[in-house]
Amino acid sequence: MVFPVLARASQRPAFSKGTAMPFSHRIFFVVTFFFSLILADLTQQGQYDYGFNVDLRLRKRDPSQSSIVTGLPRVNGQPPLRLDIRDLQKDKDMWTLYILALNWMQYTDQESPFSWYQITGIHGAPALTWQGVDPTPGNEHSGYCTHVSILFPTWHRPYLALYEQVLYNIVQYIASLYPLDLQDRAQKAADSFRIPYWDWAAAPPDGESVLPLTVGGSSTLDIEGPNGVQTISNPLFSYVFRPFNGSTFPDFPFNTWRETKRAPRPVSSPNATSNNSFVAHALDTHLPSFQQRLYNIFTNYPNYTTFSNEAWVPNDNNGTYDSLESIHDSIHTVGGGVYGHLAIIAYSGFDPLFWLHHANVDRIFAMWQVLYNNSYVVPQTAIYSSHTTSPGETEDSQTALTPFFSNETHFWTSDEVRDLEVFNYTYADVANKTRTDVIALINSRYGNFTPASMFLYTDRAQRHRSIHAGHLNQHPSQAQPHRANGLSWNSQTSTRPSLSAVFKGNKYREWIANVRVSKHAMGGSFSVHLFLGEVPADPTSWPVASNLIGTLGVFAHRSKHRMSMGRMIAGTIPMTSALMQMASLGEVPSLHAEDIVPFLKSNLEFRVSLTDGRTAEPHDVDGLCISIVSSMVTAPDSETRLAEWGEVESHFDLFV
């Protein structure tokens, strides 16, 4: 069981009354009394009921929202931190406000520009025009989001700031509803409130999945707000459309589902329910792949143009196939699963997980900026439409990031959002951090699956092994998370091959599958899965297969027509951790090219699957090309240095 805590969640709400008791000393019978009143109220089921007077008070003092993205006030002159969701959860006061504000926003009338529906709808479907920011001719059917674009990281920055601002204003209002004796405490938490992020590349705490239990564990939760403990719908589990308009999602089965779903089962049924256990299992399986990709782009992508987006540049270096956007795509496709909203560009914004995911993408962007702060947006040609961009237009650091107003007449630009502190938030991983600090953090948090850390953390690795062995004896069922899947090798927990099988001096070989393909080859999102050995027969099991090396998820729009070739995107599937595992099991003598190339030629397999569960013949996938490359990498000799990549050598093509 790879999502072990989930199993318990079905019997137990994610929030036990014993642990979520902020702001209140109410005794239990008072709570019961409030519960009986709630039943008589008109509040919709699942919505937190603030009591009888709140409607009146609300009419007088609606949370004051503005369509200008201002950023939020600092606290004691400092920008508050966006926290990892697992840390935010530990701050019960702030967590309560966060959950209540999400719940409020999701129940806000969809006609409001600040409702969940409209804010998250800015991204893609229903291609709404937000606050009068009209589409340019021909782009009426596109959302505002920018993909395969130099603006991918920068456009999402003010987008997150807008979302944060909307939630913050609701949080302020909710804090004001607490009884007087609790208001100071509530207000203090409210002032420092910032949205959390979800770190899908860090090893989760022992016994937990990469997918936090709070996100996927239960569709309802108990929360103690200003009007006592109530059971509400879990706003991180799904968004329920109120009302549902089938024409937002013209295609079956999306046009039958009133709420967002992840890995819905039974597949393609109006009655499908999310299988978050499956998503958790799939994310855990992909952890080595996500973490290696992140480590690689931090170490080997100093230029913003290649780092930022997944456009494939012909004749470019074979060492820069990956990008922040391409990694981000794979979290979308694995997190959404077959038929999940998250896996489709235009539908993804509605899933609450989108916001946790994108806050993490913004954090990674911020960390990268500390490492390579001399490189930024340079003029590039737009490849795809957005609501206000046509293909062929030039995008640069002055391009308006629509529809995010910076004042009544202007929009934010990439230049203006270069420093995230302009919105008065930050992340612990960058606040007051030098480049050296950030490098040390990357090595320790994202280096688990690279041989580079075999060099760095010898003592630490031994320590972890013995700790882990102790765990094995006590909780056999919880031994999995750090090992993620059958093929993953982890520098801190796995048996190691001999140094000479991996290193030549202080250099080792990093192995990568470069993939390029036409983004709209399949008329929707699709995934390229890479395996060692026999591929399981059932395609739905591929994302959790024990011999899966990794997946390149291509996150696309749904369309009836496959678009023409030529718009190529690129990404990578790192293979080093899987090959290290093979070497430690003695399946291959070493990581050196003379051993690995024949091993891969006889064992490497790949498959292509679509988000509707079907599979595709590789020859039907426009432009698909998978080539195997490697680079001799110099392992860092101290935690404060990054691995250094050498020339990238190409070995053979798995498919052209």
216 makes contact with ligand NAG (CB under 6 A): no
126 makes contact with ligand NAG (CB under 6 A): yes
Q: Which amino acid is at 261?
A: K
Q: How many angstroms separate the CA atoms of 69 and 603, rounded?
A: 52
Please give the structure tokens belonging to residue 527.
């995934």
Place of tokens 């696309």: 556
Question: Are 549 and 487 contacting, i.e. CB atoms less than 8 angstroms apart?
Answer: yes
Q: Give least dist CB 247 to ligand NAG, A.
A: 4
Q: DSSP labels for 146-157?
A: --SSTTHHHHHH
Q: Give least dist CB 319 to ligand NAG, A.
A: 9
In the window 354-373, what residues touch ligand NAG (CB under 6 A)?
373
Indicate which single residue of 627, 630, 631, 643 sits in contact with ligand NAG (rule: CB under 6 A): 627
Measured torsion, CA atoms of residues 385, 390, 393, 395, in degrees rounded to the nearest 10: -40
**Binding flags for ligand NAG, 530-549, as an x/- string (CB under 6 A):** --------------x-----
In the window 307-346, what residues touch ligand NAG (CB under 6 A)?
318
Q: Widest CA span of the chain, in angstroms?
A: 76
Indicate which single residue of 16, 44, 66, 271 sits in contact with ligand NAG (rule: CB under 6 A): 271
In this structure, is the dihedral angle defined by the CA atoms of residues 176, 194, 402 and 354, taken in order, positive or negative? negative
**Binding flags for ligand NAG, 16-55, as an x/- string (CB under 6 A):** ----------------------------------------
653 makes contact with ligand NAG (CB under 6 A): yes
Q: Give least dist CB 33 to ligand NAG, A.
A: 36
| CB within 8 Å of 320: residues ≥ 6 apart | 300, 301, 303, 306
Smaller CB separation from ligand NAG, 23 or 278: 278
Question: Are 174 and 49 contacting, i.e. CB atoms less than 8 angstroms apart?
Answer: no
Smaller CB separation from ligand NAG, 270 or 470: 270
Q: How many angstroms separate the CA atoms of 343 and 525, rounded?
A: 7
**How far, CA to CA in Å, does 136 sit from each of 144, 158, 364, 389?**
11, 21, 32, 7
Q: Give least dist CB 72 to ligand NAG, A.
A: 6
64 makes contact with ligand NAG (CB under 6 A): no
405 makes contact with ligand NAG (CB under 6 A): no
86 makes contact with ligand NAG (CB under 6 A): no
Please give the structure tokens belonging to residue 619.
């020859």
Residue 474 burial (CB < 10 Å; 0-12/13-18/19+)?
exposed
How many positions of this chain bind ligand NAG (CB under 6 A)? Answer: 39
432 makes contact with ligand NAG (CB under 6 A): yes
Question: Are 540 and 627 contacting, i.e. CB atoms less than 8 angstroms apart?
Answer: no
Residue whose C-alpha is closest to residue 148's, from 362, 413, 382? 382
| CB within 8 Å of 541: residues ≥ 6 apart | none
278 makes contact with ligand NAG (CB under 6 A): yes
Tally the C-alpha atoms within 13 A of residue 596's C-alpha that lie toward its C-beta: 28
Please give the structure tokens belonging to residue 143.
């959302």
Q: Give least dist CB 432 to ligand NAG, A.
A: 4
Indicate which single residue of 409, 466, 473, 602 sits in contact with ligand NAG (rule: CB under 6 A): 409
Tally the C-alpha atoms within 13 A of residue 16's C-alpha that lie toward its C-beta: 7
506 makes contact with ligand NAG (CB under 6 A): no
Place of tokens 């959860």: 89
Smaller CB separation from ligand NAG, 10 or 269: 269
Q: Which amino acid is at 384?
A: Y
Question: Are 589 and 501 contacting, i.e. CB atoms less than 8 angstroms apart?
Answer: yes
Smaller CB separation from ligand NAG, 348 or 453: 348
Please give the structure tokens belonging to residue 28.
């239990």
Q: Give least dist CB 328 to ligand NAG, A.
A: 20
In the window 241-270, what residues touch ligand NAG (CB under 6 A)?
245, 247-248, 265, 269-270
Q: How many angstroms separate the CA atoms of 551 and 330, rounded?
A: 7
Indicate which single residue of 154, 305, 389, 450 sits in contact with ligand NAG (rule: CB under 6 A): 305
Q: How many angstroms separate the CA atoms of 303 and 478, rounded?
A: 40
Indicate which single residue of 21, 51, 54, 74 sits in contact with ligand NAG (rule: CB under 6 A): 74
Smaller CB separation from ligand NAG, 38 or 593: 593
381 makes contact with ligand NAG (CB under 6 A): no
Q: Give least dist CB 225 to ligand NAG, A.
A: 26
Q: Give least dist CB 17 to ligand NAG, A.
A: 28
Smaller CB separation from ligand NAG, 78 or 381: 78
> Prior bond to 481 cis, omega within 30?
no
73 makes contact with ligand NAG (CB under 6 A): yes
Smaller CB separation from ligand NAG, 72 or 570: 72
Indicate which single residue of 424, 453, 490, 518 sits in contact with ligand NAG (rule: CB under 6 A): 424
Indicate which single residue of 400, 428, 440, 610 sits in contact with ligand NAG (rule: CB under 6 A): 428
407 makes contact with ligand NAG (CB under 6 A): yes
Q: Is 623 helix (H, G, I), strand (E, B) or coil?
A: coil
Smaller CB separation from ligand NAG, 215 or 223: 215
Q: Which residues contact ligand NAG by CB under 6 A?
A: 70-74, 78, 81, 126, 245, 247-248, 265, 269-271, 275, 277-278, 281, 303, 305, 318, 373-375, 378, 406-410, 424, 428, 431-432, 544, 627, 650, 653
